[in-house]
Amino acid sequence: MGRAAVAVSVSQFAAEVGEDPRSDIQPAFVHGLTKEKHLMKQISSTLIDTSGKTRSGSGGGALRIGVDVGGTGIKAGIVDTATGILAAPTLQVPTPRPATPEAVAAAMAELVDTISARVGAAPASAPVGVALPAVVRWGTTRSAANIDPGWLGLNVENFLAGRLNRGVCALNDADAAGLAEVRFGAGRGIPGTVLVITLGTGIGSALVLNGQLVPNTELGHLELDGIAAEARASALARERDGLNWYRYTERLQRYFSRLEFLLAPDLIVVGGGISACSENFLPGLRLDTPVVPARLENTAGITGAALQAAL
């Protein structure tokens, strides 16, 4: 199911994490959100550390291969996870159509084999990090946006490990970007809560609390005007609806205001390709929270995937 087809209210989100939402809770962001705020804090039981500590005895230093699977292209690169610097130019191939698991795995294997043959590549014993446009829970994909529905319910780590002949660590693509931005980009050194929002075909989100990632937040599915926020406030929505920057900023204002009310972040980082034009809309936002453009741009997914493989 595509992201734009799903609209999740805060009370539905409460049910998803195992709480019994009150019957009088209205769709997102009306009166009485104290409980929903509390629920967001409870998700910390699934936190992923982003402090940069690597597995002991991993060998081969801090180099890891990161792969970022997008709707139109699959990118891969070698990342020094101690510094965030790419050790070599990235490679890219088109995302297969249809983007079935077998087709994507074959394209990914080609990229990884090519990169692994380079001098100074990550050791063959090191796992590969893979960022996917999907919810990834305990190695299994639980959604499929911009890729084939055949990914749903697939243990993607085991599946890809068999195709790549090495270990695989998979995560959501927005979470990968969030890891990278907090470790090496605009969120580096910021204590408290950092929210990374990617504006593209949809809206991706990564929530980091004191250096730890809360995975699979999918905040682009919160309601805005009765539908998923990403259907109204993504970069694609701006193009589709022919919005000038002023009108688009108005939509972003409403969306970010709701996120600010619910999460009270200390910093919001805005990524995605549209962040390169951030001077056209970020200055128009009226929030208590500082909002800054992402710094890593097109390498964030690769870098974050490599970081995941090094954790």
Q: What is the pLDDT along the chain (311 residues), one digit of tens a residue?
A: 433 333 333 333 333 333 333 333 233 332 333 333 333 333 333 344 444 433 333 344 799 999 999 988 999 999 999 999 999 899 999 999 999 999 999 999 999 999 999 877 888 889 999 999 999 999 999 997 667 999 999 999 999 999 999 999 999 999 999 999 999 999 999 999 999 999 998 999 999 999 999 999 999 999 999 999 999 999 999 999 999 999 999 999 999 999 999 999 999 999 999 999 999 999 999 999 999 999 998 899 999 999 999 98
pTM more than 0.85: no
> Is the CATH number 3.30.420.40 carried by domain 1-46+188-295?
yes
Comparing 1-46+188-295 with 63-176+300-310, is the CATH topology the same? yes
154-192 residue pLDDT tens: 999 999 999 999 999 999 999 999 999 999 999 999 999
What is d(CA 285, CA 266) in angstroms, rounded to the nearest whole number?
15
Could you report the per-residue pLDDT of 84-131, keeping only the tens digit for each? Answer: 999 989 999 999 999 999 999 999 999 999 999 987 788 888 999 999
Topology of domain 63-176+300-310, CATH: Nucleotidyltransferase; domain 5 (3.30.420)
Where are the chain's structural domains? 1-46+188-295, 63-176+300-310
**In terms of C-beta density within 10 A (0-12 exposed, 13-18 middle, 19 or more buried), how is residue 12 classed?**
middle
